[in-house]
Amino acid sequence: MLRMLRAHGLDAGPTQRPLLAGAIAGMLAAAPALAVLIGFQALDAPARAAGASVFAAGLAYVGLMLLGGILYGWLFQRAANDPRGGWLFGMAFGFVLWMLGPVPLLQWLPDQPILHGYPAAGLLLAQLLWGLAMGVVFPLIHRHLHVSLEHGSGSTFQSTGPEVVAQTRMLRPLPPSGHPPH
């Protein structure tokens, strides 16, 4: 099935940057999620367990969400551009990241769970909010990156393809009607 999806154009083209768009969207989406984590005090226990400050735990979370955004862009590529369904892609991806990352690392691997109660619920809500924001922001960023690369400055940026034929500055002047061309 993956081969069929790739054959029908779901892979990003050479002028699209899904990894860069994912990195930017992951960073932007981390801001509201970080607010939820702080509100639920979900960074306190992991910071104590690691022997770090809450600020360092917040920076680690933002870095991990940057990597999560890159993974999102790599996995979904052009499929993540859907503005109507992107929020659902994002929330599902946020949930999957929550299941694969914090749940095993903070709940199953230590002798006793690091997060429980409101902080654990806050982590789930933060990941769902991150996914929602990621799914909403990614198409806007990806579209902006694609447009800025496609309509780059300079007349020699795009020298092949059907778009070149439509550019009037690239057309040759027609010969006068009374003289046949040589």
pLDDT at residue number 143: 80
d(CA 31, CA 11): 29
Q: Is the pLDDT of residue 155 over 50?
A: no
Tens digit of pLDDT for each residue in 20-63?
A: 889 999 999 999 999 999 999 989 988 888 889 999 999 999 99
pLDDT at residue number 50: 84
pLDDT at residue number 110: 66
d(CA 26, CA 43): 18
Q: Is 0.95 surpassed by the pTM of this model?
A: no
pLDDT at residue number 178: 65
What DSSP string runs through 42-96? Answer: TTHHHHHHHT--HHHHHHHHHHHHHHHHHHHHHHHGGGGG-TTTHHHHHHHHHHH
Q: Is the pLDDT of residue 6 over 60?
A: no
Tens digit of pLDDT for each residue in 84-141?
A: 888 888 999 999 998 888 777 776 666 777 777 888 888 999 999 999 999 999 988 8
Q: Is the pLDDT of residue 167 over 80?
A: no
pLDDT at residue number 169: 56
Every domain of the chain and the residues it spans: 12-149
Q: Which tokens go with 8? A: 């029908």
pLDDT at residue number 150: 45
